[in-house]
Structure 1
Amino acid sequence: MARRDYEDDPNAPEPNSLVPAASVVVVDATGRVLLQRRTDNGMWALPGGKMELGESLADCGVRETREETGIDVEITGIVGTYTNPGHVFAYDDGEVRQEFSVCLLGRPVGGTLRVSDESSEVAWFSPEEVDGLPMLPSIRKRINDWKSGAIPAIR
């Protein structure tokens, strides 16, 4: 299903659903972060997605990371909570989603890097390399919050 991101865009369609979601900052033993280049917008992003009925938030982060990157993770903490009503996703089925997203912290425990139907590339990057990658401001905010080590205010 095709998706288009709108972030603080006055021409964005009005949301018609509110969805709980998780994203994960996965950090390996050398301090690199796991990112995927999304097929729908060409931008780099953290693995993540919507929670399914019957799963915990941590289970959602583990599942989405495995599905989107091939890497198995253990959740070790939380980066922050993000609820920007100006960031919506419009899908070709008519859904316009506002997400209530919790960004988790995780470490790899297995698996092999691979792309999915949502990604064209999956790779590990040093924190310095991330600064030069194209990504949506909301994703960059999560990564910068992780890099700063500060617990952000609820957003």
Structure 2
Amino acid sequence: MPRRDYENDPSAPKANSLVPAASVVVADDSGRILLQRRTDNGMWALPGGTMEIGESIAGCGIRETLEETGIDIEITGIVGTYTDPGHVMAYDDGEVRQEFSVCLLGRPLGGQLRTSDESTRVAWFTPAEIDGLPMVPSIRKRVDDWLAGRFPVVR
């Protein structure tokens, strides 16, 4: 389901849903991070998605990372919470979701890189390689917070 992100855009549609979600900065021992190129907007993003009933936010991050990238991880910390009401995502089915994401920090345990129905490419990137990648501003904020060593619990 294609989506369009709006960040503090006065022409953005009004939010009609709020769904808890997790994203994960998965960093390997070399300092590279795992990113996926999304099928719904063509942008590079952290693995992540919506939390399901009966799972923890950490469990959501672990499950989504495995589903979307083929990499099994453990959660080692938190980068921050991102709940800006000025950031909404409009989907083709009429849902307009207000951002509500907890960005976790993870470490790879194993697995093989692979794409999913949500990604066209999955790869590891050094911090220097990340700057030129197209990303929505909310994902860029999370990556920048991690790169700068800033871990804002609330944003």
TM-score normalized with structure 2 length = 0.96
User: 2:110 aligned with 1:110, yes or no?
Assistant: yes
Deviation at 1:150, TM superposition (A): 2.2
CA deviation vs aligned residue, 1:2-56 (integer Å, no higher than 9, x gap): 2222222221110001111100000011110000011121111000111000000
SS in 2 for 1:144: helix
Q: Which runs of 4+ in 1 moved over 4 A?
A: none
Identify the residue that residue 125 of structure 1 maps to in structure 2: 125
Whole-angstrom CA distance in 2 between matches of 1:38 and 1:81: 21
Between the aligned partners of 1:131 and 1:85, the Cα distance in structure 2 is 26
- Specify the alignment match of 2:38 in structure 1: 38
In the superposition, the TM-score normalised over structure 1's length comes to 0.96
Paired letter, 1:81: T
Aligned equivalents of 2:108, 2:125: Cα separation in 1: 14
Number of equivalent positions: 155
Matched position secondary structure for 2:55: coil
Are 1:151 and 2:151 an aligned pair?
Answer: yes
Q: Give % identity.
A: 77
What RMSD, in angstroms, separates the aligned Cα atoms of the two structures? Answer: 1.0
Query: Counterparts of 1:40-79 in structure 2 under 5 Å?
Result: 40-79=40-79
**Separation in structure 2 between the aligned mates of residue 49 and residue 2 of structure 1, nearest angstrom:** 14
Query: What are the within-5 Å matches in structure 2 for residues 8-23 of structure 1?
Result: 8-23=8-23
Unaligned stretches of 5+ residues in structure 2: none
Q: Distance in 2 between matches of 1:136 and 1:42?
A: 10
User: Is the 8 Å Cα contact of residues 17 and 96 (structure 2) preserved in structure 1?
Assistant: yes
Show structure 1 runs of 5+ residues with no match: none
